[in-house]
Amino acid sequence: MIPFADLWPILLGWAIAVGSPGPAVLAIAGASMGAGRKSGLALALGVWNGSMVWASIAAFGFGALMVSHAWVFETLRYLGAGYLLFLAFKSAKSALRSDTMRIAPNADTVRKAWLRGFLIHVMNPKAALFWGALFAVVIPQQAAPIAVAQVALSCLLTSLVVMSFMALLFSAQIISQGYLRLHRVFDGAFATLFGYAALKVVTSKLV
């Protein structure tokens, strides 16, 4: 077991990284403000489930295998960029709407929100490298399996807490009401940022 004195700096850095602006945080913010708390939490859960996939791949040592097969990352790169462009298009389309928006979360919205969050994260090759770096750099190679599991589960729990907090924060009434009044401005910004994120995914050097 890793002492908490050694574990908390890892978790603090992880929390800051998870909460930093990126496609997942943008999507959580947009869903929470535009469709309500339930939709935002569902999307956050989808992102977290995607993170679980990459954590499992990294924990079982498949990260090195993926790095040695560059086509896997290239495929993910373009799939992820394409999906971000799709989200940018949806945001731009919403920004062009002149009708009044309202918060109306429902079962279909929740399911779609979860899937959107899952796809955003599972098709992001940088998430794979993120988890791979944790296991390759932060955790010593000679670490016992219990220590590896401790760090992985602690980071996953930290991710869930941070993402859920983001969903609750952006679904606060004062923020969501502001979004409804200025949805064209917000959606225009989301379209720009999703488009920029897609560009970064395509042009960034991954391996």
pLDDT per position as a tens digit, 164-177: 999 999 989 888 88
Q: Each residue of 170-207: pLDDT tens digit?
A: 989 888 888 777 778 888 888 888 888 778 767 766 55
- Give 117-143 as a DSSP string: HHHHHHT-HHHHHHHHHIIIIIS-TT-
* Of 29-38, 91-100, 137-146, minimum mean pLDDT range: 137-146
Distance of alpha carbon 149 from alpha carbon 137, whole angstroms: 15
Q: Each residue of 112-142: pLDDT tens digit?
A: 999 999 998 888 777 777 777 776 666 666 6
Q: Residue 101 above 70 pLDDT?
A: no
The average pLDDT across 63-82 equals 69
Amino acid at 7: L
Q: Residue 30 above 70 pLDDT?
A: yes
Q: Model's pTM, two decimal places?
A: 0.76
